[in-house]
Structure 1
Amino acid sequence: MGDHSFGNLGGPKQRGIVSYRLSSYEQRVFAGVFKKGFYNVIRRFSANVLYIGPPMIASYMVYSWAKKRNTYLNSKAGHHELSG
């Protein structure tokens, strides 16, 4: 079938493409994680809390109400209320 691996699909040779790569031994993977990362997480969280918080609180309140209502309607008192 040929030598068709991921990087070599058998098409014409590409010309004029330059790619650069940094060795994994030269990278600093966790550069700035403890110095900048923690404060960046706090900044992003505080910027989005007013968009995320109220819908989450409302959803929890609806869920809690529905669970209590379901428990009541499936109890003896709930059946008695619905039947008459």
Structure 2
Amino acid sequence: MRPTVARLGKHFGNLGKTYGEYRFALAANEQQAWKGFFDQAFVRVFKQYVWRDWFYYVPPAVSAYLVYDWAKKANAAANRKNPADYANDV
């Protein structure tokens, strides 16, 4: 049985070497987390959700507004007093 590296008494960080792996990192002050957010985010969201999927929410929104407008006008007409009922009042 081959003895493992852990049995040879090495610490956990020195268990083995990896060849052919390269790691790159930027310092915290060199990163630009918000780069292009304010000038590209609106355009990207508009293209992905509004331009491509407009038929999912524009017709229901228009129909809901028309129903709302009709109901508001019908309610106002139903609650309006008839002036002919009060023509003979003194």
What TM-score results when the alignment is normalised by the length of structure 1? 0.53
Structure with the larger RCO, 1 or 2 (CA within 8 Å, 6+ apart): 2
| Structure 1 segments (4+ residues) deviating >2 Å | 22-27, 32-39
What's the CA shift for 1:35? 5.6
When residues 70 and 23 of structure 1 are mapped into structure 2, their CA distance, relative to the original with a 3 A threshold, is farther
Deviation string, structure 1 residues 59-78 (Cα, Å, up to 9, x no partner): 0001000000000000024x
What's the CA shift for 1:27? 2.7
1:61 to 44, 53, 66: 66
Q: Structure 2 counterpart of 1:49, which letter?
A: W
Alignment RMSD, CA only?
A: 2.5
Q: Structure 2 counterpart of 1:69, which letter?
A: A
Q: How many residues align?
A: 57
In structure 1, stretches of 5+ residues that fail to align are 1-21
Deviation string, structure 1 residues 24-45 (Cα, Å, up to 9, x no partner): 5333122222564343122121
Identify the residue that residue 37 of structure 2 maps to in structure 1: 33
